[in-house]
Amino acid sequence: MKKTTLPCFGILILLLINYSLYGQTSGWSEVAPGVWRNVIGNPDKTDLFNSAGIKPAVEALSQIKAAEFPLPEKDIIAEVVNGKTYLRFPLVKDEQIFGFGLNFKTVHQRGKILNLHVDHYGGTDNGRTHAPVPFYVSDRGYGVFINSSRYLTVYAGSGVRKESPDAPDERDRNTDKKWTSRPYSDAVEILVPAAGVEIFVFAGPSPLDAVRRYNLYCGGGCLPPRWGLGFTQRVPTLFTSSQVVLEASLFEEKGFPLDFIGLEPGWQSRSYPCTFEWDRTRFPDPPSFVSKMKDMGIRLNLWTNPYVSSFSPIYNKILPYTGSHTVWGGVVPDLTIAETREILSEQLLNNQINIGISGYKIDECDGYDYWLWPDVAKFPSGNSAEQIRQTYALILQKMTTDLYRQKNIRTYGLIRASNGGGSSFPYVIYNDYYSHEDFITALINSGYSGVLWTPEVRSSKTSEEWLRRMQTVIFSPMAMINAWSSGTKPWSFPDVENEVREIALLRMRLMPYLYTEFARYHFEGIPPFRGMNLEPGFSFRSKTELKNKSLDENPYAEAVMKEIRDQYMTGEYLLVAPLFSGQTTREVILPEGKWFDFYTGEYAGDGEVIKVTPGLNKIPVYVRDGGIIPMMKPMLHAPSAGQKFDIEIRYYGTAPGSYKLYDDDGETFNYEKGIYSWRLIKVAPDKKGKITGSITKAEKGKPDNIGIVTWNFMSLE
């Protein structure tokens, strides 16, 4: 008896297989139309997709043109070496790739080395950013996603293998002028610091289709409430409820649109870390304050971060579910545990959501290493600090969205971070960086990564800058003035007050179009704001330029990529080409096909580079031939559920055009149950050659908020 039991008793015997998987991947399984999955080694239990809780929109995926597995399987290599996973995906000559998250300075990613790491943006596109989504799209019409909650090192066409069939010729730097410090690389190589990983390939056929499949596999893009597309102002941090009411009435008085106001840390009794409850000196009666604001047509959004103060009513309850390290003295909830989420959820629900708070601005879930928990922190779930960091913002978004879904009320808020799988969350990423140019690049990149981004207006040195910034924020997912520190108001620069009002009202007028484009994000996966490289007929390729820098001072100064990062698409038809402070003129690259001036309907060009001098009060916007832009009258608040509104349908150019206008109640999740309508707008010459337009009625029993329809054929003589 003793002999047989001894070696087994009290000792855990496991078979350790010291394996090194190598070589071509096989066994790709199509898990949804045009979406293939493969599992390498033993992936971590916590990954991005399960943290986001994605629910693939399979039916919508099947609507995209069918496509074969888009890459040669034999050239996708995966290997697990000493507990790490090495991945390789092929690239061909001249192939361009985009994505890898919310980059701020570059759109083209081929040749880059990135460490995908949730972080604040530190000024360099090195992979450390608010949304380091491990997804890339090729101009060859496919996408690749790495479903890992680790810090991934990506060589996006940088390393050169000895065995590569495309290995570049060796050159002698001494004498050969063609010598280059960065020889041709034929692969994307990725290091996953885990003994396995799940990977996905998304088919096209077009690059936009690959993006659509990614978004739809994540459940479809978010559909904000209608009011979310209105204007928002964030007020100084120590404002009291009466000051907030006064602020709202000033907007009304001045004729500036306003749909929601954001309260900053001062709404809480203590913050940084947070109590998650109202400060009763500044906000003596939150329910009646919220209701008074609602009566004025204004919703409220609350700033918070996830770190719990010892003065919070939930402190003792949540303490056992928190990590080893604190952030500003607050404990860090391990949100990968259901109980933790319940404790926090209950507080938000009872104290804020149930009295009518419309959403949150969730701060500091991105990082800045000096503020956050370190990578040596430990959490009760056993998930590593790295995994918690990579998934924290996803979990926060899912948790709060679910709270609103339970109440069947949509929310729309702000978040400092996101990651792969987050397409469906009604959150817009913001940060503390403030380069206007780079904000536009981020807006472009958001479209490749299933996230939303606001080029928020915070403050400006000049009225010119103020107006230029306002002109771009209205062509973005959230039209926000974030004045928590500066206290600036839309009319703070009197010499451009009228221009600012006009542009703000343009945002409101565009609401039917923007709301429809968000519906397409949800139902079709098409990002409402996106880069030119996803547009058909756009053929500009990146070029490299050697900056004339002294090798003595810095031999690392190398050729830099010249790329288009100052114009982008807003929805199906609008090409937006902002000007920045100091500019009076700029070039715009018009894709193939005719384009027309948004404001005048005049012909602008076709597949060419035009130079424009629009004046300070205009942001150049162009409409594709046949473009249909449904607009509404300038209102100060978004239409509420059931409120009828008249529309003006603008039509540009001469090509026959059609557009499906989306409608629903604008406030609930009933659209998830099919309660919405699509109304077909058509514009074409009739038999006599006269341009006429038509719009179908809403199906019986479906939402129907459209009042009077007027037509405006912009390009007629």
Which residues ranging from 465 to 494 are in contact with its own copies (CB under 8 A)? 485-486
Counting other chains too, the contacts that 687-694 makes at CB distance below 8 Å and 24 or more residues apart are 691/651, 691/654, 691/716, 693/649, 693/651
Among the residue ranges 97-105, 340-348, 372-380, 606-614, the one whose residues contact its own copies (CB under 8 A): 372-380
Binding flag, residue 592, its own copies (CB under 8 A): no
Please tell me whether residue 238 binds its own copies under the rule CB under 8 A. yes
Buried b / exposed e over 285-324, threshold 16 CB at 10 Å, is: ebeebbeebeeebbbbbbbbbbbbbeebbbbebbeebbbe
Which range touches its own copies (CB under 8 A), out of 78-86, 226-234, 505-513, 576-584? 78-86
Q: What span, in angstroms and rounded, lies between the C-alpha atoms of 243 and 434?
A: 27
| Residue 155 Cβ vs its own copies, minimum distance, rounded to whole Å | 5
With contacts defined by CB under 8 A, name the span among 98-106, 210-218, 262-270, 611-619 that binds its own copies: 262-270
Count of residues that bind its own copies according to CB under 8 A:
91
94 contacts its own copies (rule: CB under 8 A): no
Per CB under 8 A, does 540 bind its own copies? no
Query: CA–CA separation, 203 vs 68, rounded Å?
Result: 7
Q: Does 1 bind its own copies (CB under 8 A)?
A: no
Q: Is 270 in the site for its own copies (CB under 8 A)?
A: yes
Q: Name the minimum Å distance from CB 311 to its own copies.
A: 8
| Cα 668 from Cα 20, distance rounded (Å) | 51
CB of 637 to its own copies, least distance (A): 27
Distance CA(52)–CA(338), nearest Å, equals 14
At 385, list the tokens: 């600090």
Nearer to its own copies, 130 or 618 (CB): 130
Q: What part of residues 554-573 is at the interface with its own copies (CB under 8 A)?
A: 554-556, 558
Q: Could you say which residues in the range 296-335 bind its own copies, by CB under 8 A?
A: 309-311, 322-331
Burial class (CB in 10 A: 0-12, 13-18, 19+), 109: buried
With binding defined as CB under 8 A, does residue 442 bind its own copies?
no
Nearest Cα neighbor of 465 from 454, 473, 453 is 473
The residue among 155 and 523 lying less far from its own copies, judged by its C-beta, is: 155
CB nearer to its own copies: pick between 101 and 323: 323
Least Å from the CB of residue 43 to its own copies: 14
Q: Which of residues 330-349 bind its own copies (CB under 8 A)?
A: 330-331
Compute the residue count for the chain.
Answer: 717
Nearer to its own copies, 328 or 540 (CB): 328
Helix axes of 241-254 and 286-295: crossing angle, nearest 10 degrees: 0
Taking the complex as a whole, the smallest distance from the CB of residue 160 to its own copies amounts, in Å, to 5
H/E run at residue 352: none
CB of 657 to its own copies, least distance (A): 43
Per-residue CA distances from 164 to 74, 423, 473, 527, 632 (Å): 14, 36, 46, 36, 58
Within positions 180 to 219, which residues make up the interface with its own copies, using CB under 8 A? 181-183, 189-191, 193
Question: Contact region for its own copies (CB under 8 A) — 179-187, 221-229, 403-411, 684-692?
Answer: 179-187
Burial (0-12, 13-18, 19+ Cβ within 10 Å), 480 = buried
Considering only residues 48-77, where is the footprint of its own copies by CB under 8 A? none
CB of 42 to its own copies, least distance (A): 13
Q: Which of residues 113-172 bind its own copies (CB under 8 A)?
A: 113, 120, 153, 155, 158-163, 167-172
**In the bound complex, what is the minimum distance in angstroms from residue 215's beta carbon to its own copies?**
29
**Does residue 234 interact with its own copies by CB under 8 A?**
no
Applying CB under 8 A, which part among 16-24, 292-300, 585-593, 631-639 lies near its own copies?
A: 16-24
Q: State the Cα–Cα distance between residues 500 and 466, nearest whole angstrom.
A: 8
Helix H, strand E, coil C: the string for 108-158 is ECCCEEEEEEECCCCCCCCCEECCCCCEEEECCCEEEEEECCCCEEEEECC
Place of tokens 């990062």: 565
Residue 545 engages its own copies in binding (rule: CB under 8 A): no
Q: Indicate which single residue of 58, 62, 68, 179 sits in contact with its own copies (rule: CB under 8 A).
A: 179
Stretch that binds its own copies, among 98-106, 493-501, 546-554, 560-568 (CB under 8 A): 546-554
The owner of tokens 């390393």 is 159
CB of 294 to its own copies, least distance (A): 25
Q: How far is the CB of 583 from its own copies (least distance, A)?
A: 20
Q: How far is CA 43 from CA 17, 196, 197, 198, in A?
A: 15, 4, 4, 6
Closest CA relative to residue 190, chosen from 113, 118, 302: 113
Any contact of residue 415 with its own copies (CB under 8 A)? no
| Residue 214 beta carbon to its own copies: minimum distance, rounded to whole angstroms | 24
**What is the DSSP secondary-structure string of 510-544?**
THHHHHHHHHHHHHH---SEEEGGGSTT-----EE
Distance CA 99, CA 549 (A): 29
Return the residue of 21, 50, 69, 86 that touches its own copies, per CB under 8 A.
Answer: 86
Between CA 109 and CA 190 the distance in angstroms is 14
Of 241-249, 548-556, 587-595, 639-647, the segment contacting its own copies by CB under 8 A is 548-556
